[in-house]
Amino acid sequence: MTEPYTARHSHTLARQANISYRQLDEWVRRGFSRPIRSTQRGKGYQRVWNEDERLIVIEMGRLVNAGIRPPEAARIARQHVTEPSIDGKYLIAVGVSIIFED
């Protein structure tokens, strides 16, 4: 597992992913993104993200902004970060593929 990455605020990660804070919060509530939670409870606690989750959120942002629905974007981003394909191609539906380019 990678070392924890702590964004000063979730707003920082949302900005890096080119999404709104509200969208990031929704993805966390729906289970698309999995921050490491702090020991504090209630509103206003700081979320801690490991590097893989940070990259997943950024890739999800790219995919959603390209028109992919969040559930599919989460699956593809998680697969891309945790189990990258050799050629960078990912099948999302019959006849549709995604190619990640730097």
Break the chain into its structural domains and give their ranges.
4-99
Identify the residue with better confidence: 36 or 57.
57
Between 33-42, 65-74, 77-86, the lowest mean confidence (pLDDT) is in: 33-42
Q: What pLDDT, in 10s, does the model give residues 16-31?
A: 999 999 999 899 999 9
Backbone angles phi, psi at 91, to 5 degrees: -85, 125
Architecture per CATH, 4-99: Orthogonal Bundle (1.10)
3-state secondary structure of 37: strand
What does the alpha-carbon distance between residue 88 and residue 43 come to, in Å, rounded to a whole number? Answer: 39
Q: What pLDDT, in 10s, does the model give residues 2-20?
A: 555 555 568 889 999 999 9
The pTM of the full predicted model, rounded to 2 decimals, is 0.75
What does the alpha-carbon distance between residue 48 and residue 4 come to, in Å, rounded to a whole number? Answer: 7
